[in-house]
Structure 1
Amino acid sequence: MDTEGKEQPPLNLDSCNVILDTAKTVYNEEYDRFKQIETKTGVTIGFVGVLFGFIITYLTTIKLGNNDAGYLIYTFGIRFVIVTLLAISALKYLGAIKVGKFEQIDIDEVVDTRLASRPPEELTLTIAATYLKVIKENEEKINQKTDKYNDGLKLMVSGFLLFLIYFFLEEVIKYV
């Protein structure tokens, strides 16, 4: 709570309840964001696996149309970059999953006989402060998860677009 040794006006229970309700709402919203990024990451890592398998299968079954050194270097280089982008993408998604777990309210900070003896206004604000503490701890984790997810998504899209370019170039080379 915000007490700086100054004389403060008396607390209003209704106002304190509004503050507590707001803290609970923000906490629940953060929990929903956490679950949402976890779910999106899990689904997307599965998609990267399928995409990776498809591309590897394609790259291993396609016959090289030419034995020219320049063509072989181009083919190896672009294949290597595609596989690398998808692999790093998958690692970013795994990193997003490993960031940490959602911190919950420490019930020991709330269920306390010392707190129970306080006036309702102070008790309500103390509980709201407990929510605030946990919200701040979780916010950083959620932002890290989101950043890693976004990085993985950019890499996956880049790898897939590069594969499409490679595919079309190979089709053109076949008929030239």
Structure 2
Amino acid sequence: MGSESDDCKVILGVDGGTTSTVCVCMPLLPFSDIHNLPDPLPLLGRAVAGSSNFNSVGEDVARETLEKIIAEALSDAGVKRSAVQAICLGLSGVNHSKDQEKILGWLRSTFPSHVKLYIQNDAVAALASGTMGKLHGCVLIAGTGSISYGFTEDGREARAAGAGPVLGDWGR
């Protein structure tokens, strides 16, 4: 899609589920007001792969999927890995800080420390998407697995399900 440029700065968004994983590459847009963003947002590259839920496919496969999808989205955009300024990942199976640290370790082996990394459960990303980043309300995901997640206005959070097949969330 794009043409390779050393001065192009991009951000990546990853939606990783138990069935599929999608990565999009967008230009880094300067803005101070979320209501002044272009509509639709410019998309430079996109890639789709299989599961990135390490609880379902194992750590090696999940890591390979994330590395592959990021490389393909950057290739589709025609930009180098060095152009990445931030990556936001909403991943099923990321349920605790230790899960976030695991994914962070994988990405830090590829991306330098100046790249901002945000890793949350995919339900948090879905809620942020539906609320334009306000994180106030609740979301229900009923896909391969299921989870309900919510935040109050003062930042308290609650969740139900999303524990995977060990506790009865059999998915497909």
TM-score by length of 1: 0.20
Name the structure with the higher strand share. Answer: 2
Q: Which has the higher contact order (CA 8 A, sep 6+)?
A: 1
Name the structure with the higher helix share. Answer: 1
Give 1 or 2 for the bigger CA radius of gyration: 1
TM-score by length of 2: 0.20
